[in-house]
Amino acid sequence: MKNRQLMNYINGQWRRSSAGSYLDVTNPATAEVLAQVPLSTPADVELAVKHATAAFQSWRRTPATQRIQYLFKLKNLLEQNIQELACLVTNECGKTREESLGELRRGIETVEVACGIPSLMQGYNNEDIASGIDEHLYRQPVGVVAAITPFNFPGMIPLWFLPFAIACGNCFILKPSERVPLTSVRLMELLEQTGLPPGVVQLVHGDKETVIAILDHPGIRAISFVGSTPVAKFVYARATANGKRAQCQGGAKNPAIVLPDADPEFVTKTLAESAFGCAGQRCLASSVALTVGEAGRAFTDAMIEEAASRRVGYGLEEGIQMGPVITSQSKERINKLVALGEREGAKVLLDGRDRVVKEHPEGYFLFPTILGKVDPRSEIACTEIFGPVLSLMHVATLEDAIAEVNRISYGNMACLFTRSGAAARKFRYEANAGNIGINVGVAAPMAFFPFSGWNESFFGDLHAQGMHAVEFYTEAKVVVERWP
Ligand code: NAD
């Protein structure tokens, strides 16, 4: 199993990549090698595009009501196999079984929403725009589209795109993260069981070079990307320069404001889950808590206690509340950022570095870390850490807190904890972020709403999910019609 070399899935067949090199896929909790992933070449991408282009001719002519039958089957297969899929997600990505089940549930939700495509894809008409002349808008599929996805949601993020793309009549190429390719392999096996026509969905493994081949291929019309901000910017620039439409979701630094009137116990539990759930490797993790006025002291003490009590370990073991980070390099990077914070004057109130999980000494574990007195102007306050590290800042008023929220260059999510409707409205109105949580720590939009990151967290116009996805994956064709 260890030496299993993964294959690409092209035109309904498992094919060996023409890659010259392979990378190990590792379980971050045990450092065990699970498989080897090929770094696919431009020739592999070419083959995937060729078959997707051929399949598109009949797929776009397949009525939407028939296209969604495959998605109904996929939904059932995902439900039937959810426990096995959750084990896969945990083993390659590190999160706990519960967290894996949670992300798969959100992925299934996207399949369910995409099953509504016959209604969602409808256009609109006007009779008599001039005497005897009618005008119609039709939505047509774009063609061959591709998605490039990150390591932190191996199940959910490919499913943000695949169901909407194919329901709209496109053919789809998935390039999953090379660090977590196994869940995507299983997803293809389940799709195969639905009887989906060959060529409608392809899986091409790989890394940067594979991505560049996708971005430069003239046969691919649209790119969906999720990952870090520097790569999102690069992908957006290259895809659009090549004339493709692109939606590129980037990194985040999500602040949560705590007002003195908020319920302390609820806030502590909710924010600890947001900051340390998935070991802080969630693009919607609250990584900065801004306490206002009297909220400061009690919150800090309660949060330290809550964070220190989390059980860290291998996510398939009973009672584990937090898994490892994805790689040893990631662990090292996070440790360096905490050290930078210290040099910049922050106080390490809870230190999760240099701790081991004794059952798994090889694992890439970090324990929850809390930095106090973080200067909002310091580098650590502006940098995405993407690990189990919560930074605490204190301000005098709600206005000051909103000003700090709006100074952050990202804009994925911002949250407020309060009992005041007036404060909540002010925050909702003024906060410069695309997803807002009011007494919610991880404001993840349902699949029928767009996932609305702003600023440095998103490059493009139309986001993933909801009606944005339908617009992204379709061209609007406008017809003006007269029958003299
Ligand atoms: P990443 O940017 O390293 O990789 C994402 C994808 O890009 C992978 O498929 C990878 O193979 C590819 N890639 C990596 N480097 C590349 C390069 N130089 N050129 C071209 N392609 C490249 O991201 P990651 O570490 O896998 O994921 C974590 C990041 O994703 C975090 O920054 C997190 O905030 C972000 N994220 C954002 C959202 C969102 O919705 N905004 C959701 C999940 C994760």
CATH number of the domain within which 104 lies: 3.40.605.10
Query: What is the atom index within ligand 1 of the atom nearest the CA of 212?
Result: 20
Give the separation between CA 154 and CA 168, rounded to whole angstroms.
23
**Claim: this prediction has a pTM higher than 0.95:** yes
Atom 19 of ligand 1, residue of closest alpha carbon: 208
Residue 1 has pLDDT above 90, yes or no: no
CA proximity to 142, closest of 250, 281, 50, 244: 244
Same domain, 134 and 197: yes
Across 96-106, average pLDDT: 98
Six-digit token pair at 396? 């005098």
Six-digit token pair at 374? 């973080």
Distance 412 CA to ligand 1 centre (A): 15
Distance 150 CA to ligand 1 centre (A): 4
Query: What is the atom index within ligand 1 of the atom nearest the CA of 176?
Result: 9
Residue 465 has pLDDT above 90, yes or no: yes
Q: 160 CB less than 6 Å from ligand 1?
A: no
Q: 70 CB less than 6 Å from ligand 1?
A: no
| Catalytic annotation, pick one of 115, 278, 283, 415 | 283
Six-digit token pair at 66? 């028939």
pLDDT tens figures, 406-452: 999 999 999 999 999 999 999 999 999 999 999 999 999 999 999 99
Same domain, 462 and 410: no
Same domain, 215 and 318: no
Q: Is 8 helix (H, G, I), strand (E, B) or coil?
A: strand
Across 154-163, average pLDDT: 98
What sign for the dihedral angle of Cα 272, 274, 275, 278?
A: positive
Same domain, 433 and 420: yes
pLDDT tens figures, 13-66: 999 999 999 999 999 999 999 999 999 999 999 999 999 999 999 999 999 999
pLDDT tens figures, 365-377: 999 999 999 999 9
Cβ(255)–Cβ(376) below 8 Å: no
Same domain, 324 and 469: no
Question: Taking the C-alpha atoms of 213, 23, 36 and 92 in order, what is their torsion angle to the nearest 10 degrees?
Answer: -100
User: Quick check: is 452 in a domain?
Assistant: no
User: Quick check: is 16 in a domain?
Assistant: yes
- Counting beta carbons within 10 angstroms of the beta carbon of residue 11, is it exposed (0 to 12), middle (13 to 18) or buried (19 or more)? middle
Instruction: Please say if 168 is a catalytic residue.
Output: no
Same domain, 319 and 432: yes
Model confidence at 3, pLDDT cuts 50, 70, 90, reads: low
pLDDT of residue 324: 98
Six-digit token pair at 100? 């894996």
User: Quick check: is 448 in a domain?
Assistant: no
Q: Which domain holds residue 312?
A: 254-438
Query: What is the atom index within ligand 1 of the atom nearest the CA of 227?
Result: 30
pLDDT tens figures, 326-348: 999 999 999 999 999 999 999 99
Sheet of 347-350, strands arranged across: 347-350, 369-372, 389-395, 286-292, 254-258, 413-417, 435-438
Which one-letter amino acid corresponds to residue 325? Answer: V
Across 288-316, average pLDDT: 95
User: Quick check: is 445 in a domain?
Assistant: no
Atom 16 of ligand 1, residue of closest alpha carbon: 208
- Residue 203: its H or E element: strand 201-203
The count of domains in the chain is 2
